[in-house]
Amino acid sequence: MVARDVSGIEISIQAPPPHPRAAGRSCALAPRTLRKVQDFIHANLAADFAIEDIARAAFLSPHHLNRGYHRTTGQSLWQYVLRARVQMARDMIAAEAQATLAEIAERSGFGSYGQFIAAFRKAFGQTPGDYRRQLEYTLQ
């Protein structure tokens, strides 16, 4: 790029070369880091945790974790968390006929029953109650 200083003299301005370790990096997470992140999530699914907690476990900043996770997997980190929680809840519904759906929602890590129903419907196209009734019908 060419610019003029205050005296009118042309100056050639060049961007600094990229850092050698940054060349070719796409901000994707290394396989070992991705595994560490997913292991943390699955070990703490029923708990209330934030992105900062996951980032701390993976030794990353929350921003780098979010960006790297999306670049690596094609989905956001919270989409993965919600999908894992919904799958856990679905397995509990199938295995624990006596448990109420509110108990399952709480034990699956959902902050509210409404959030649980919305996430379950989005993931599986039916409410948890409809899924339970479908299971009961097929078992008869």
> Which CATH number characterizes residue 72's domain?
1.10.10.60
Structural contact between residues 103 and 93, judged by C-beta atoms closer than 8 angstroms: no
- Does residue 137 belong to any structural domain of this protein? yes
Question: What's the mean pLDDT when you consider all of the chain?
Answer: 85
* Residue 22 pLDDT > 60: no
* Residue 20 pLDDT > 60: no
- Does residue 67 belong to any structural domain of this protein? yes
**What tokens appear for 91 in the block?**
């397995």
CA distances in angstroms from 23 to 27, 34, 59, 83, 124, listed in the order given: 11, 21, 22, 34, 41
pLDDT in tens, 52-98: 999 999 999 999 999 999 999 999 999 999 999 999 999 999 999 89
User: Within its chain, how far is the Cα of 34 from the centroid?
Assistant: 11
How would residue 4 be classed by pLDDT, with cut points 50, 70 and 90?
Answer: very low
Structural contact between residues 42 and 84, judged by C-beta atoms closer than 8 angstroms: yes
Cα 81 from Cα 78, distance rounded (Å): 5
- Does residue 42 belong to any structural domain of this protein? yes
* Residue 17 pLDDT > 80: no
- Does residue 21 belong to any structural domain of this protein? no
- Does residue 17 belong to any structural domain of this protein? no
- Does residue 8 belong to any structural domain of this protein? no
For the chain, the domain total comes to 1
pTM, rounded to two decimals: 0.77
* Residue 9 pLDDT > 80: no
- Predicted confidence at residue 18, as pLDDT, reads 40
Residue ranges making up the domain that contains 115 = 30-140
